[in-house]
Structure 1
Amino acid sequence: MNIKRYLRRSASFLALALLLTSCSKGHNNKGYSLEYWSSNNGGEIRFSEWVVGQWNGRQPEAKVKYQPVPEGQSSEEIILAAVVGKTTPDIYSNIWQGSVEFYSQAGILVPLDTLEGFMDFIQKRCSPETIREITSGDGHIYQVPWKVNPIMTIYNKGILASLQLDTFPLTYSAYLDAARQFRKDTDGDGYVDQWFGNTSVKLAWYQRLFNFYPLYLAASDGAPLIKDNRAAFNNEYAIGTFRFLQEVYKENYFSKEQQSAGQDLFVAEKIATKF
């Protein structure tokens, strides 16, 4: 597999805007018509505050109440809890494309194509290919694609140079060979304390969007995980990706430490690459 494509294909993670029907009540009583949540990323918060301010200034009869999604282990878990508790916003702009189908089947999303003028809007904004991609299995559209979250690999150029590498390894075999050279027990205590990389080892399902999925997209040239409502990844690309991830942990090429615990191993030069 050519890992170089990983940097391009992994930008396929779409964060999407959508309307929720199980919204919290009482906006009008507080002077607002709709409630909107964005991600809690600093740049997006500033952007959302600006957009909502512009809207409210021009549409005082239909003001929007804004806040970033509440803090939690993940925004996916926060939204799911809000759905269960019927405290969702009316508009949410930080949802993964794959989750939209789940919520649409649960009957809690507004089919945007039933709104007057929506199809003219989406056809001007998106290509026919994109419109086909965002159309749900029931023929309706519940989402508006508006941003991408690129998943990338960073690496220490000095460490690669010490391994006589001019560039980042571009294949699984080259990557594993470099990892074999760099892995070390530097203090002689019998435990590896210098690794070639790391990625999340948390069991939460969405963590696979940041390691397996982008590697699979790169290997398969963007093939979907689901096709015709059936799993479509029992193939050489998924098997190769899982074997690669299995080997980097089996051979101690990757650290098993949680990325949020203790010092940053990449900054400390204890790991050479990081997804």
Structure 2
Amino acid sequence: PDTQVTMQPLPEGRSGEEVLIIAAAGETTPDICSSVPPVIVPLLARAGSMIPVDQFPGGRELIAERLPPGMLESFIAEDGKLYQVPWKGNPIMVQYNTGILEETGVDSLPRTWSEWNQAAAKVTRDRNGDGRIDQWMADIQIESEWRRRLFDFYTFYIAASEGRTLLVDGRVDFDNQIAVDVMGFFATGFREGWYPRSLLAGDMFLMGYFAAHVTGPWNIAHTERLKPEGFRYAFGPIPVPDDYEGEPFTFGDPKSIGIFSNCRYPGAAWAFVRFLISRESDRKLLEIADQLPLRDGLLSDTLFADYFAAHPNMRVFARLVPHTRGFDQSPALQEVFDAISNGFDGCAVNGVITPEEAVRQAAERSRYILKMRGA
């Protein structure tokens, strides 16, 4: 109560990663940031910019108790310390324009790759008769920026591999047949013309040009606010290989809370963080921001029952929280994603290399990066 808290948003126009890395370099970080991308925590921790939660008595235990079982391990740094407080997540699903599906004879939301491809062949068409395709299956991004791969290759790889990520013990783990198959899945879609090879302006999903959009729970409010009259939609899981029999997994797009080393009042900062991750604050996070706290038992806790009863689409996403994956804690991870993105561009988007070559080259490049970065 004696410590004044001043809040301000992250600057617009730049990614959260860029803002925090620049601030750390200039020693101008905030005391606390509640939207730290876990992908950059290893970089900030290695630079000495973050305070480990372990220095606060009972800190790690409090966080482990809040999270779904097994989730904490993916946030622990290479040195065994915990530099971040996992706060909220955005399980990635597929949002479908059910009107388009029904018009083209697709009776159910695709669950497998074959069902997805069959639907894609039906919905991709020339609607106005000018000889050019103007309706596609999905808006798979063609830009080669690393973060674009979070919502295509990486999400589908996690789903197809029953929750595997890219690295294990700091070593490349995606040089396998599953990654080849995922790369081939997207290559087929681009080759068949189910995804456009050009950038289209505006929200083309809401405008009816795409039958599917890979997205997170943030798009519920966006859709409800901007959807045209008569627009109908539903959310489905990330499609998996036809022979997949495991639990549904997806990318969780998590965000963490971090306390930075230039904080003059670390004890007060930790007290504020504890407040932010309390059950009552998690309910406020849902009610005010429609964002999912990384908390075990979300759907069984009576404190949140009224919210989920009033927001059925959020309930669909909340079911996936325990089955999400985030980021490997390596300071070179963004460069690993760059290598994968280069392979995706050459194979899936442009079709100049095979899926096998794309994965092999990305894995070789990633091993070199990890070695050179000492990661």
CA contact (8 A) 2:123 2:135 kept: yes
Distance 1:256 1:79 in 2: 33
Pairs within 5 Å for 1:166-177: 166-177=107-118
Taking structure 1 as reference, are residues 194 and 83 closer, same or farther at Cα in structure 2, changes over 3 Å only? same
Unaligned runs of 5+ residues in structure 1 are 1-58
Q: Is the 8 A contact 2:24 2:44 kept in 1?
A: no
Unpaired runs of 5+ in structure 2?
215-375
Report deviation, 1:258.
3.7
Q: Aligned partner of 1:118: which letter?
A: G
TM-score, structure 1 length as denominator?
0.70
Give the Cα separation in 1 of the matches to 2:134 and 2:61: 57
| Counterpart in the other structure of 1:271 | 210
- Give the AA of the match of 2:192: E
| CA separation of 1:271 and 1:88: change in aligned 2, threshold 3 A | same
Q: Which digits, 9 at most, give the CA deviation of each residue in 1:106-158, with x for residues without a partner?
A: 33221220233424433443466233332211011101112111222111212
2:192 is the counterpart of 1:254: no
Secondary structure of the residue that 1:64 maps to in structure 2?
A: coil
Partner residue in 1 for 2:365: none
Any idea what SS the aligned residue of 1:191 has?
coil
**Residues 1-275 of structure 1: matches in 2 within 5 Å?**
59-60=1-2, 62-126=3-67, 129-258=70-199, 261-262=201-202, 264-275=203-214
CA contact (8 A) 2:105 2:122 kept: no
Could you say if the C-alpha distance between residues 192 and 164 of structure 1 is closer, same or farther in structure 2, counting changes exceeding 3 Å?
closer
Instruction: Note the C-alpha offset of 1:254.
Output: 1.2
Distance 1:113 1:211 in 2: 35
Do the aligned residues in 2 keep the contact of 1:110 with 1:142 (CA within 8 Å)? yes
Runs of 4+ in structure 1 off by over 6 angstroms are none
Is the deviation greater in 183-192 or in 249-258? 183-192
- How far apart are the structure 2 equivalents of 1:177 and 1:225? 29
Any conservation in 1 of the 2:96–2:212 contact (CA below 8 Å)? yes
What one-letter code is carried by the residue in structure 2 that aligns with 1:68? P
With over 3 angstroms needed to count, the CA separation of the structure-2 counterparts of 1:144 and 1:249, relative to structure 1, is same
* Amino acid paired to 1:91: I
User: Matches of 1:258 and 1:80 in 2, distance apart?
Assistant: 29
Q: Structure 2: how far apart are the matches of 1:127 and 1:177? A: 36
Q: 2:136 touches 2:209 (CA, 8 Å); kept in 1?
A: yes
Residues of 2 paired with 1:128 and 1:186: CA distance? 48
TM-aligned CA deviation for residue 189 of structure 1: 4.4
Any idea what the Cα deviations from partners look like across 1:19-56, whole Å, max 9, x if unmatched?
Answer: xxxxxxxxxxxxxxxxxxxxxxxxxxxxxxxxxxxxxx
Task: State the distance in 1 between where 2:113 and 2:7 align.
Answer: 45
Q: Answer whether contact 1:111 1:141 (CA < 8 A) is retained.
A: yes
| Offset of residue 204 of structure 1 | 2.0
| Corresponding residue pairs, total | 214
Provide the alpha-carbon RMSD of the alignment: 2.2
